[in-house]
Amino acid sequence: MGSVYFYHLTRGPLEDTLPVLLTKARAAGWTIAVRGRDPQRMGWLDDRLWVGAADSFLAHGLEGGAHDARQPILLTTGPEAANAASCVMAVDGAEVTAQEVQVLDRVCILFDGTDPEAVQQARGQWKLLTEAGCSAQYWSEETGRWEKKAEK
């Protein structure tokens, strides 16, 4: 049974934080689905991942390619990832179910702390998932480094 980690982004944008978390998830041996809601936004993230830091490379693909099933990281907008992901990173308010949390190694929910609507949605997801019995952690970067602020 996995757990869900909430990442409250307050200092850095998604395009800076996501590669760090993806690198850690790949180091754990996981295949990852980055789940968003808007195909254009996922295309934008795809572009950002390709032009990342010069000292790193994150092999990935955008859903709809010929080799989706072989991608270590697949950017998608749907609940089913062709790459048999063991980790889902939900961005931009993408939905995650308690059933997913229970069968995956890890679920990460990244949300923009400067957007009141995104914060409210993350609170709702926390409540829904923890009430369903999912193990959850809340991480904040408000001090300049990531700190665990709550666990349930």
Sequential DSSP letters for 42-109? HHHHHHHHHT--TT-----EETTSTTGGG-SEEEESSSS-TT--SEEEE-TT----HHHHHHSSEEEE
- Mean model confidence pLDDT for the chain: 93
What is the pLDDT, as a whole number, of residue 142? 85
What is the pLDDT, as a whole number, of residue 51? 80
Banded model confidence at residue 2, pLDDT cuts 50, 70, 90: confident
What is the pLDDT, as a whole number, of residue 63? 94
Report the CATH fold assignment for 3-151.
Rossmann fold (3.40.50)
pLDDT > 80? residue 52: no
Cα–Cα distance measured from residue 92 to residue 41, given in angstroms and rounded to the nearest whole number: 9
pLDDT > 60? residue 114: yes
Give the pTM.
0.94
